[in-house]
Structure 1
Amino acid sequence: MLNELKTVSYFHAADWWVFFAVLAATAAAAVYGNRRLKKKQGEKPMSVLDYLLMGRQLTLPLFVATLVATWYGGIFGVNEITFNYGIYNFVTQGVFWYVAYLIFAFFIADKVAKYQSLTLPDLTNRMFGPKSAKVAALFTFFYITPVAYVLSLGMFLHMVFGIGILPGMALGTLFTGLYSAWGGFRSVVFSDLVQFFVMCSAVLLVVVFSVGTFGGLGFLKANLPASHFTLTGGNSWMNTLIWGFIALSTLIDPSFYQRCFAAKSPSVVKKGVLISTFIWFCFDLCTTAGSLYARALLPQAEPGQAYFFYSIQLLPIGLRGFFVAGVLAIILSTLNSFLFIASNTLSFDLLRNRFKNIVLSNRISIFAVGLLAIAMAHMFHGSFKEIWLVLGSYFSACLLVPILMGYLSPGRISDRLFVFSSLTSAAVMTAWRFIPKHEVLQAVDPFYAGVAAGLVILLLCRKGEKGYVARIVDR
């Protein structure tokens, strides 16, 4: 039986060399991406389009690398769910999402490309109107504020260097904010390219060494509760299906849309999402399997940290440092994207008329978002599951249905109706959490109440005539 580690002294000098070499490569990639732009445009100042979307020049390899890397920052949250509930994690954090990715690739990607927008709220403005854009920006801002990923980084620095979680969150967010603010989306993409290869290799190494050392499925079944191999992991089907609806938030996810807006063509988006889905499937298999081994061998460990401690004891010197760098890459690749998009939402979508220099205000906003994320991590008491459920539920319940209906029936939802539907969904969800309910209704999650309220309003009040977005598309 392995032991949970408590100190940084377990690492060998070779591990530190490998770890800092990966960090240096990440920083070098960010610098390289920015220098490529300077060579291209000379002394001209960076445009808003270049800063926010890399001038819409994102190629297929870069699209896949940055999209895949952005999706896994909550590695400790995934480990926590697997540790407690087994393959339930693969169902709720994997299968549901693959379905959403495929829907996006085949039914949404081409529609998104028509609008040539800069952000998700900007697209909402073109589809419905300016008031809808502000409401969408507000929900987007809180959804994309990187609460779970700031917390993950604080936990990582605590486990590796022994510093407190709060100082770790502050230091890690400062470092990430500096390079994200400096080069904009281009720095994010090129740093993601390095992090993509490191993180995928790291989780694969853990599975290979686990199977080689302890055996395969037979070992896991002999050392884990039977419930860890059920689809619900002991949770109710109602609670399990909530994750399915949250996964559908991919259809309006700001980080997904940012990559689509930045891609060179719609074909890059479709091919990129399909390739990414296959990589995500492989990655999820590796993280779920690794976390199951951690549960079997470190049953008394902290659920969110067991996979990390298990892996650094399992792997040999050198590869141990590479794995630690891989975990950091998983966190940073999501944190930098979410910080950047949240700052875009604040400076470009919510406060655009208050600042003349969007690029400068965006850079300042990155650090404001970081402070807010740290504060919100304390509000949720460090629970990854709670963070994802609450923020993901509000975002999905309030925006998913009206935006999808806008794609399916252009012009049938007015600006005011979008606002009324979204705010009603939010109000009903909040009220449902606190009002006394009959015992039959107590099993109904606030998410379902919010979606139902918004959907009823939209179905009863849709316009019959063509509206703003229909005229735009017809042009």
Structure 2
Amino acid sequence: MLELTLIDQMTIILYLGCVLGLGLWAGRRVNDLEEYAVAGRNYTAPIIAATLSASFIGGGFTMGNAEKVFTMGIVNIMALWGFSLKEMLVARFIAPRSRRFPTAISVGDVMEVNYGKTGKFVTGIFSVLLCAGILGAQIGGMGYLFNLFLGLSVPTGIMIGMGIIILYDTVGGMRAVVSTDVLQFAILAVGMPLVLIFGISQLGGLGEVLDRVPAGHLEVFSKMTPMQFGSLFLTFMLGETLVPPYVLRLFISRDTKAVSRGTLWSGLFSVPFFAISGGIGLVALVLKPDLNPNLAIPFVVESVLPIGMRGLVIAGILAVVMSSADSFLNSASVAFVNDIVNPLRREKLSNRTGLLWARLATLITGFLAIVIAIRIQSLLDILLFAYNFWSPIILVPLAATLLGYKATPRAFISGAAAGLIGVFGWSRLLGAPGGFDGLIIGVFANFLVFWVVNRVQSAEPECAQVLARD
């Protein structure tokens, strides 16, 4: 546990109270499922950039990045830029086309355009699994942070942090999520650079830090081969591409220019942010080479920041985890109602009834996530396993639909099967030769089969017309 003054502890408690109050206030007028899912579709580019950044910069891109840079060097920062590139590509090619889906409130709504109710239902299943897995990982990390910073037991930390999220997420949906994300982004964007600046200053300047860092940490290929780096770069680029919380951000404004700019700004922001969080790992390495790498950021916070400022930065670290958790919780509940329940009914739920179902789904999912994180942690690995199959199953057909390409349900099912086989065959049977991630093989297999099957089916009517003329 870090030793915090009463001022620091009160700062953290005040922050948590502000998050809860802001979330409840922002969501007080949510009246139907569409409002709960996409919050009126009237946000501006800066708000979109802030909420998107707060959603994707979770514990893995902060404390996890610092830990990896502590052990492996700057290569991890450069690999993470694959994620940044992905955001810029989405801003350029996909965000401008979001206007084609003016009533969409979920990924399943997009998939239904080409692949019908079957595609929507399958997408809903994997959306819930993916979101539940990432949610479980985030709240598990939240409990660890509460234990580290405030001395609370991990279960107590999980219940407090997740309890706050459940309250405002259940009441306000996307409106509450966006409002709290903006606050969390502001603290995040200020707090993390301050940690790095104070750390470098205490060590005598940037030149001194670079001189004392082990040489291999400043070289790209000292700890991995070019093939392994390429695999890691592509994994970061493809692994979270078009996952439900990020897709929903494409629909929270009717102004596609605002959506495109906000997405682009978010991608650009991530470039220096990944360098900053990784840089803190290097500062920790210079300060204490025998430190547990997982404690890189907390150690630097405790070592270099003045009293009072520590509480603000720690609040920012908690904000990182909470801002990801609330987005995935909201997306899971919307996907459950809109993509799983509605396709199974003869008539879909009305907007008001759907809102009630979504709130109940949020409440139940949140409490189940708490129970799982506290009591049955091994199941989180099973849920996170589903995360590895999002891109090999859903990414290719989803991107095709968002880009305006016509495709068939058979192409979707065939590509998904190929993606599953590709992942399983490469990773499990062959043992991931060369360290190349099976996720990438799965995406490629999905793309190849999806394209071939769709081309064959598109050619069938033309052949029939030629035969009829003959």
TM-score (normalizing by structure 1):
0.85
Displacement of 1:444 in angstroms is 4.4
Displacement of 1:416 in angstroms is 2.4
Distance 1:187 1:295 in 2: 38
Out of 291-300 and 371-380, give the one that drifted further. Answer: 371-380
Aligned with 1:419 (options 399, 408, 413): 413
1:163 has 2:149 as partner: no
**How do 1:127-276 and structure 2 match up within 5 A?**
127-145=114-132, 146-232=135-221, 234-246=223-235, 247-249=237-239, 251-276=241-266
Displacement of 1:265 in angstroms is 0.8
Aligned 8 A contact 2:372 2:379 in 1: no
* 2:31 equivalent in structure 1: 46
* 1:472 equivalent in structure 2: none
Aligned 8 A contact 1:150 1:374 in 2: no
* 1:430 equivalent in structure 2: 424
SS of match in other structure, 2:162:
helix
1:341 has 2:331 as partner: yes
What stretches of structure 1 of length at least 5 have no aligned partner? 1-5, 39-44, 468-475
**How do 1:109-128 and structure 2 match up within 5 A?**
109-116=95-102, 117-128=104-115
Per-residue CA shift, 1:8-35, capped at 9, x if unaligned?
xx21122123222322332232233234
Q: What is the identity, as a one-letter code, of the residue corresponding to 1:63?
A: I
When residues 217 and 232 of structure 1 are mapped into structure 2, their CA distance, relative to the original with a 3 A threshold, is farther
1:375 has 2:372 as partner: yes
* 1:470 equivalent in structure 2: none
Aligned 8 A contact 1:410 1:466 in 2: no
* 2:341 equivalent in structure 1: 351
TM-score (normalizing by structure 2):
0.86
Displacement of 1:249 in angstroms is 4.8
Displacement of 1:279 in angstroms is 2.2
Out of 219-228 and 440-449, give the one that drifted further. Answer: 440-449
* 2:284 equivalent in structure 1: 294
Displacement of 1:394 in angstroms is 1.7
When residues 163 and 406 of structure 1 are mapped into structure 2, their CA distance, relative to the original with a 3 A threshold, is same
Distance 1:113 1:233 in 2: 46
* 1:279 equivalent in structure 2: 269
SS of match in other structure, 1:58:
coil
Per-residue CA shift, 1:196-249, capped at 9, x if unaligned?
111111101111211221133433333333222122561233333233333235
Aligned 8 A contact 1:249 1:400 in 2: no
Distance 1:466 1:121 in 2: 28
When residues 408 and 394 of structure 1 are mapped into structure 2, their CA distance, relative to the original with a 3 A threshold, is same
* 1:100 equivalent in structure 2: 86
Q: What is the identity, as a one-letter code, of the residue corresponding to 1:257?
A: V
* 1:473 equivalent in structure 2: none
Distance 1:149 1:466 in 2: 48
1:69 has 2:69 as partner: no
Aligned 8 A contact 1:26 1:191 in 2: yes
Aligned 8 A contact 2:411 2:451 in 1: no
When residues 270 and 173 of structure 1 are mapped into structure 2, their CA distance, relative to the original with a 3 A threshold, is same
* 2:304 equivalent in structure 1: 314
* 1:360 equivalent in structure 2: 356
**How do 1:448-459 and structure 2 match up within 5 A?**
448-459=440-451
Q: What is the identity, as a one-letter code, of the residue corresponding to 2:99?
A: A
* 2:4 equivalent in structure 1: 11
When residues 368 and 224 of structure 1 are mapped into structure 2, their CA distance, relative to the original with a 3 A threshold, is farther
Aligned 8 A contact 1:170 1:374 in 2: no
* 2:467 equivalent in structure 1: none
Distance 1:180 1:89 in 2: 33
Displacement of 1:66 in angstroms is 0.9
Out of 193-202 and 250-259, give the one that drifted further. Answer: 250-259
Percentage identity across aligned positions? 23
SS of match in other structure, 1:317:
coil
Displacement of 1:391 in angstroms is 4.9
Distance 1:372 1:416 in 2: 35
Displacement of 1:54 in angstroms is 0.6
When residues 13 and 269 of structure 1 are mapped into structure 2, their CA distance, relative to the original with a 3 A threshold, is same
Aligned 8 A contact 2:84 2:267 in 1: yes
Aligned 8 A contact 1:263 1:269 in 2: yes
**How do 1:457-468 and structure 2 match up within 5 A?**
457-462=449-454, 463-464=457-458
SS of match in other structure, 1:148:
helix
Distance 1:284 1:444 in 2: 23
Per-residue CA shift, 1:270-307, capped at 9, x if unaligned?
11122222322232222111121112223333322221
Distance 1:466 1:80 in 2: 54
Out of 448-457 and 195-204, give the one that drifted further. Answer: 448-457
Aligned with 1:57 (options 32, 35, 42): 42
Displacement of 1:144 in angstroms is 2.3
* 1:405 equivalent in structure 2: 400
Distance 1:256 1:348 in 2: 17
When residues 290 and 183 of structure 1 are mapped into structure 2, their CA distance, relative to the original with a 3 A threshold, is same
1:88 has 2:75 as partner: yes
